[in-house]
Structure 1
């Protein structure tokens, strides 16, 4: 097996938990609200359901990111058989915090009853969850845990906070309309540990690196203050054509790089967790990655919607019961904001 470098034993995945707000919103109900054909969503996006923290009709906030992250963290700790007193640090990854200050990480720690330990918040999109896993692995490998054996990693996004439900959607160009059918809200968490015998699987590697030198951003999410809130800029813009062209290539680069650095033959993989953009795009990426190999795909986006930093944890939740003895899996996340490549590897404990 391949372990992260550092003192002590391997970095283990002791528990995973996820949280979704309310009931799923299917394409018929979403299309009725947006005034578009449900067939368009199914044909071009391929996402069947998604979950929103806001009420689609009134626009009222029903769940905050803090609510969802707290629920997911509670479930991850319970899955690990741990409690808040076991947590040595908290890392939260999000692109959509409830507020700039205080951080969602600090508020979630407070609600969980965690005190006297470091809390970190990473501001990033779909690669943020892998960045959080990498940071947590480094902290645990470096011995930054004292008497507390668990590192708590959380990822989540409430994308609907950036979507204006009051406008006439028939006037929107496809580049903006796609954000209303592609994205959803949710949170996930993992409890990492180096405690012997406590892990359900091993986190063999977690890496990320910038791949956007000289490239225009593929996605931009604005932050508006009092001085510029009426600037007229759309809150979210996405170059979906650039995403379609670049993400499959970058996903293959991540897979090849991880296998090379781990020394794993491609044929040794039992599962691959591909990037979760939308149902159709994920299908296309998976076909390109497969190259005749027999590994099993682990995806969730067609049912959860693209809920950003939560996606990796929904995939891990599906992976762990399937991993099996001597199983190996690679996960890939691509962030189109400035083209960040990220990936991680999971291996069975026996």
Structure 2
């Protein structure tokens, strides 16, 4: 059921950062060969941004730098000085180093001598998990102002799949991976305030997360650089670090995870689907995802309602892991798609172990000045 707390927590603003110029499908076709048209249409990605130079593989920025850029934009929009931040939470599966945590490098670049930092490694679900944890710590008075960030750099694992090779000889399964993923960072600023006694009702807020893949093979796995084998044995692998994607598994199980997540969040919040104004679901319009809704029991009426409220930007940025939900949230807010008074459902679904995280909240932040409003 929805929870109530002693202090009211608001999302003041969001921010986003995408590295470099967009890389469209035509350019990828030159680098690694084309995808069949029906396959490209199914994944829905038309362009993406990479930290890696697609021609040389050199890095033009990094995960922490992108996170800082997104955080600074969010703070500027909220008119909050970085010195006011006392809680910094970050989700990423692609830090520059195993230790120290990437969040501490963000802290350093924001100029914060002291700050609480926490980091999640839960890919698409991590930002939503971080939003919930931050909200609880603000609501109970532990901290006052938080920045929650999702950032991912996937391109360093992608460029080695084709660099120095004949594009026509790249395997189709590798091309599918190359066309799917992008890099980026998104952030949100949260602040706690005394609860307004004039509010007629406490805000409706609910959170839920589960891992549904405990007995399944991973839908996605990044192998290398860990402790699964001695370093000397890892060095003999074809690639030091490699991304493995179970395409059949993710296309089959992904909609099942979403259906479970949606039912769970509606039950926890007491909301009906018609009550949701914006469902931030980054992959909700991908054909392989949406076409499976009927198979898992989502009715035609509910699918129609979902299509009206889904907020996503997959075609513009690709699948971006930890950055997916905050990038879509930012795009929805700055376009005017998400407006004050809207009931918002944030829903992250990740494929590595089929984890979902969802939360509902009432949106309060006004559309930032100088942005394009959605009709």
Q: TM-score, normalised by structure 1?
A: 0.89
Pick the aligned partner of 1:161 from 150, 156, 164: 156
Measured in 2, the distance between the counterparts of 1:29 and 1:203 equals 46
Q: Does 1:12 align with 2:24?
A: no
Measured in 2, the distance between the counterparts of 1:187 and 1:322 equals 20
- CA gap 1:196/1:74 in 2 versus in 1, 3 angstroms: farther
Measured in 2, the distance between the counterparts of 1:180 and 1:277 equals 20
Q: Does 1:253 align with 2:260?
A: yes
Q: Does 1:293 align with 2:305?
A: yes
**How many residues are aligned here?**
342
Aligned to 1:67: 65
- CA gap 1:40/1:132 in 2 versus in 1, 3 angstroms: same
Aligned to 2:371: none
Aligned to 1:311: 324
Q: Does 1:216 align with 2:217?
A: yes
State the secondary structure of the residue aligned to 1:291: helix
Aligned to 1:243: 250
Judge conservation of contact 1:203–1:344 (CA < 8 Å) in 2.
Answer: no
Judge conservation of contact 1:276–1:333 (CA < 8 Å) in 2.
Answer: no
Q: What is the CA deviation profile of residues 157-184 of structure 1, one whole-angstrom value per residue up to 9, with x for unaligned ones?
A: 0001112142535444433332111000
Measured in 2, the distance between the counterparts of 1:116 and 1:25 equals 38
Judge conservation of contact 1:70–1:108 (CA < 8 Å) in 2.
Answer: yes
Written as runs of structure 1 = structure 2, the 5 A alignment for 1:319-338 is 319-320=332-333, 321-324=336-339, 326-338=341-353
Q: What is the CA deviation profile of residues 239-268 of structure 1, one whole-angstrom value per residue up to 9, with x for unaligned ones?
A: 111111111111111111111111112221
Aligned to 2:370: none
Measured in 1, the distance between the counterparts of 2:364 and 2:31 equals 47
State the secondary structure of the residue aligned to 1:126: helix
Q: What is the CA deviation profile of residues 108-148 of structure 1, one whole-angstrom value per residue up to 9, with x for unaligned ones?
A: 11000122121111122111111211221222123211xxx
Judge conservation of contact 1:41–1:181 (CA < 8 Å) in 2.
Answer: no
Aligned to 1:341: 356
Offset, 1:280: 3.1
- The more displaced of 16-25 and 29-38 is 29-38
- CA gap 1:15/1:235 in 2 versus in 1, 3 angstroms: same
- The more displaced of 171-180 and 20-29 is 171-180
Q: Does 1:229 align with 2:235?
A: yes
Offset, 1:322: 2.6
Aligned to 2:272: 265
Written as runs of structure 1 = structure 2, the 5 A alignment for 1:107-118 is 107-118=105-116
- CA gap 1:43/1:316 in 2 versus in 1, 3 angstroms: closer
Q: CA RMSD for the aligned pairs?
A: 2.6
- CA gap 1:68/1:331 in 2 versus in 1, 3 angstroms: same
State the secondary structure of the residue aligned to 2:271: coil
Measured in 2, the distance between the counterparts of 1:319 and 1:197 equals 27
Q: Which structure 2 residue ranges, 5 or more long, are not aligned?
A: 197-202, 366-375
- CA gap 1:58/1:277 in 2 versus in 1, 3 angstroms: farther
